[in-house]
Structure 1
Amino acid sequence: MRKWLVFLLTLVLSLPLMAEEAVQQVLGAANEQQASSQQANPQVHENLDDYFLGTGDRIEIIVYGEPDMSMKFKVSKSGVVNFPYIGEVVIAGRTPSAIETEIEERLRGDYLLNPMVTINMESFRLFYIFGEVTSPNGYEFQPRLTVEQAIAIAGGFTDRADRDDISIRSGATNEVIEDVELTHPVQPGDTVIVEQSFF
């Protein structure tokens, strides 16, 4: 009988410790999953202060505490969205932070006391890569993308690629920049062209 009492007492005393260990394991797993997600999708956590939205970007506008005013959409060719209560807001050619500020200012007072607006990127518009790469195609842009990274995304050079003859056609101006370095930045809408070697 005494052995059973000792066993039960030990069990009761150990339950809080077991529960705490279980909580710590769950928290640890959650932290690992979050870190893994950040590594797999680094663009989600990049600072977008210097990114100008354009046609094809998919964004989410969140007004905290106002789910009816929050919305997800793809930026259209007009570059304008009709936002609840305040009407048209120009999206294309502007940074997320500039749009957040405008919506907050236009909502403040007449509609909300102290609105808080956040813009999240759902997906970026495409850049393109053609010529002597393994998988020429259009791919989703990534912040701070370089020519070298673009080539890697497209599967790398083919055996016939001329690594010293790479050009970029600007998506913004249609201008062709020849003989770019691997470190040259690639912008959304740009087309990277890797020429063929003749030797």
Structure 2
Amino acid sequence: MKLLLLACCVLISSISFAETDTTAAPEKEVQSAAPVVSTSGHPSIDNETRKYFLRPGDMIRIWVYGEEEMSMSLKISKRGVINFPFIGLVQLSGQTTDAIEQDIETRLKDGFVLSPMVSVTMEEFRKFYLLGEVENPNGYEYEPQLTVEQAIAMAGGFTDRADESDINIRPSGQKEMIKNVEMTDPVYPGDVVIVEKSFF
């Protein structure tokens, strides 16, 4: 009888331990599955992939191998779409060049072109703008990996009245400004860089 009671106690303890262990496991899975959030905040750049999203004013080249009438260079309009031969409207603004390639290829395969090969490349980025206390405030053609320092140099440098520690950027398409940026911070197409005036 004592042996039977002892066996029952051991069995109950092992079942309780097993239940506790299985309820702890899902918590670890939930924590490891937490989504990774991009911290970029810039509408033109994906912070994780560094892919560039096209906007009106960018110029691209669409090339379809062996199909001259479908190959073209164009500047993206404010509408952000084009009427492409055979397949109709293609969304450009807000897309990457890779996404546009895949879209056109997929739709051309649907009875129009056998095994289409499509290439979409950047020809010219839209301008960025420099305002305030620089020698030549204006819009300038964007160059990849541009920094604030390089952008100011393109505008002829600071004026004598410039506050070199008070430089702000209004990202493309946004109302809020990034305050007091560093000279090494990036500038992107469509951005407005503003150099404030010194009061001393």
- TM-score scaled by structure 2? 0.72
Query: Secondary structure, in 3 states, of the residue corresponding to 2:73?
Result: strand
Structure 1 segments (4+ residues) deviating >6 Å: none
Matched, 1:120 2:121: yes
1:107 paired with 2:119, answer no
Q: In structure 2, the residue corresponding to 1:119 is in which secondary structure?
A: strand
Residue matched to 2:77: 76
TM-align CA RMSD: 1.6
How far 1:109 moved relative to its partner?
A: 4.3
Residue by residue over 1:31-60, the C-alpha shift from the partner in whole angstroms, topping out at 9 and shown as x without a partner, is xxxxxxxxxxxxxxxxx9611111111111
Amino acid in the other structure paired with 1:175:
E
How far is 1:174 from its partner?
1.7
Q: Which runs of 5+ in 2 are unaligned?
A: 1-48
Q: How many residues align?
A: 152
1:133 paired residue number: 134
Residue number in structure 2 paired with 1:174: 175
Residue of structure 2 equivalent to 1:144:
145
Give the structure 2 partner of residue 163 of structure 1.
Answer: 164
% of aligned pairs identical?
60
How far apart are the structure 1 equivalents of 2:155 and 2:98?
31
| TM-score normalized with structure 1 length | 0.72
SS at match of 2:114: coil
- 1:173, CA displacement in angstroms? 1.6
Q: Which moved more, 1:113-122 or 1:54-63?
A: 113-122
Kindly provide the amino acid, as one letter, of the partner of residue 198 in structure 1. F
